[in-house]
């Protein structure tokens, strides 16, 4: 068991007898993040691990400074044997390095940084962002018949979404040179503001025929904007939340990238347990991310049902 000298912080809860993992996630209440957490907690319960989720209670604000004190408080109350930290924002890298120096094995999820690029990080589990972007571009190009104008939006300008947008654009330019791409723009995480941004993009570009969003809110953002402006737009966005599956089913969104949300949470539990027991793990653990259209929805509704969502 790894120990951390925090006696000055007060009495801790009873020490766990098996692997214990703290999940640290800014933007904790975002629906996509909650699906990740559901996979993590379900696997922990199934395997008998002691697990806890902490993060700033917001669905719209990625707040590292508000999350770190919650993680510190959890570590002061209970001894954990591994820490999982959501790390798309480099602002949280110093915290990873600090806890690693104190002896905690650290892993991250959803993105796959290069080995040694994040000091103190021992493992990462997620999907291949470049491949998902390439697959999205090919799906968009095919559904548009190789012609049109495509808007690109991001939840924020972070490392993962930047890579997704850049690789999507690169593949589109290579495979479908007759399709014009607009420069990526920020839609943000607040739903009404994101929709207003997409409406403004459509109104400023009356010939847009496609929209690609690198964030899980993007399906509703662009579907809502298309409804408001009465425009026909082929939309590809991220994540198999129930809202997004329903939009694909209704024909308002063409496809989603089924980033392995529930699956990655379960993998975090298992890899974290191996790290806690000092067992060898791969640094990069890659899970598939399928492009899902209306014909492929049922397995994802089943995952949501199993997660209680």
Summarised one tens digit per residue, pLDDT across range 174-191 is: 999 999 999 999 999 899
Q: Assess if residue 172 is contained within a domain.
A: yes
3-state secondary structure 218-279: HHHHHHHHHHHHCCCCEEEEECCCHHHHHHHHCCCCCEEEECCHHHHHHHHHHHHHHHHCCC
Sheet holding 106-110, edge to edge: 50-54, 20-24, 82-85, 106-110, 123-127, 284-287
45 and 57 part of one domain: yes
Percent of the chain topping pLDDT 90: 84
Please give the structure tokens belonging to residue 126: 């997620």
> Which residue has 């400074």 as its token pair?
65
63 and 102 part of one domain: yes
Segment holding 197, helix H or strand E: helix 191-204
Q: Assess if residue 272 is contained within a domain.
A: yes
pLDDT at 278: 95
Query: Does pLDDT of 1 surpass 60?
Result: no
Per-residue pLDDT tens digits for 111-154: 888 899 999 999 999 999 999 999 999 999 999 999 999 999 99
77 and 184 part of one domain: no
Query: Could you give the 3-state DSSP secondary structure of residue 50?
Result: strand
Query: Does pLDDT of 293 surpass 90?
Result: yes
Query: Does pLDDT of 262 surpass 50?
Result: yes
pLDDT at 6: 32
pLDDT band of residue 162 (cuts 50, 70, 90) is: very high
254 and 134 part of one domain: yes
74 and 145 part of one domain: no
Segment holding 180, helix H or strand E: strand 179-181
133 and 254 part of one domain: yes
Interior angle at CA 34, CA 42 and CA 13, nearest 5: 60
Segment holding 301, helix H or strand E: helix 298-306
pLDDT band of residue 238 (cuts 50, 70, 90) is: very high
- 213, β-bridge pairs: 153
115 and 151 part of one domain: no
148 and 251 part of one domain: yes
143 and 194 part of one domain: yes
Q: Assess if residue 22 is contained within a domain.
A: yes
Q: Assess if residue 303 is contained within a domain.
A: no
Q: How far apart are CA 195 and CA 222, in angstroms?
A: 7
Residues 180, 182, 188, 193: what is their CA dihedral angle, to the nearest 10 degrees? -90
Q: Assess if residue 299 is contained within a domain.
A: no
User: Looking at the 3D structure of the chain, how many domains does it have?
Assistant: 2
pLDDT at 11: 33
pLDDT at 17: 62
239 and 159 part of one domain: yes
Q: Domain of 224: which CATH number?
A: 3.40.50.2300
Do β-strands 106-110 and 179-181 pair in parallel, antiparallel, or remain unpaired? unpaired
Query: Does pLDDT of 3 surpass 50?
Result: no
> Which residue has 């989603």 as its token pair?
256
Which among 219, 241, 258 is the end of a domain? Answer: 258
Q: Assess if residue 294 is contained within a domain.
A: no
- 138, β-bridge pairs: none
55 and 171 part of one domain: no
Please give the structure tokens belonging to residue 288: 């598939």
Per-residue pLDDT tens digits for 81-105: 999 999 888 999 999 999 999 999 9
Q: Assess if residue 143 is contained within a domain.
A: yes
Q: Assess if residue 138 is contained within a domain.
A: yes
pLDDT at 16: 52
> What is the average per-residue pLDDT within 261-289?
96
The predicted model scores a pTM of 0.78
pLDDT at 202: 98
Per-residue pLDDT tens digits for 21-32: 999 999 899 888
pLDDT at 144: 98
pLDDT at 53: 98
Domain carrying residue 43: 16-128+260-287
DSSP assignments along 91-111, one per residue: GGHHHHHHHHHTT--EEEEES
104 and 187 part of one domain: no
């Amino acid at each position: 068991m790894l120990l951390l000298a925090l006696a000055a912080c007060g009495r801790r809860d009873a020490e766990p007898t098996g692997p214990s993992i703290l999940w640290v996630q800014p933007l904790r209440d975002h629906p996509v993040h909650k699906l990740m957490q559901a996979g993590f907690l379900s696997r922990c319960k199934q395997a008998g691990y002691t697990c806890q989720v902490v993060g700033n209670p917001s669905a719209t604000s990625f707040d590292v400074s508000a999350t770190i004190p919650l993680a510190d408080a959890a570590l002061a109350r209970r001894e954990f044997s591994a820490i999982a930290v959501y790390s798309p924002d480099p602002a949280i890298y110093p915290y990873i390095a600090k806890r690693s120096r104190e002896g905690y094995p650290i892993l991250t999820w959803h993105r796959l940084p290069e080995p040694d690029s994040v000091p103190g990080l021992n493992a990462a589990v997620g999907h291949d962002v470049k491949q998902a972007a390439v697959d999205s571009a090919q799906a968009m190009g095919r559904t548009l018949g190789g012609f049109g104008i495509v808007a690109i939006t991001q939840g924020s300008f972070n490392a993962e979404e930047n890579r997704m947008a850049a690789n999507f654009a690169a593949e589109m330019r290579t495979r479908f040179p007759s399709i014009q791409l607009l420069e990526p723009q920020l839609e943000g995480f607040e739903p009404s503001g994101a929709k207003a941004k997409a409406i403004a993009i459509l109104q400023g570009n009356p010939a847009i025929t496609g929209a690609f969003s690198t964030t899980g809110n993007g399906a509703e953002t662009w579907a809502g904007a298309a409804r408001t402006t009465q425009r026909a737009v082929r939309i590809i966005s991220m994540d198999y939340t129930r809202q997004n599956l329903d939009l694909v089913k209704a024909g308002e969104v063409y496809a989603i990238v089924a980033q392995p949300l529930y699956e990655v949470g379960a993998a975090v539990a298992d890899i974290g347990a191996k790290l806690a027991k000092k067992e060898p793990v791969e640094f990069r653990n890659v899970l598939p991310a399928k492009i899902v259209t209306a014909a492929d929805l049922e397995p994802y509704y089943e995952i949501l049902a199993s997660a209680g969502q």
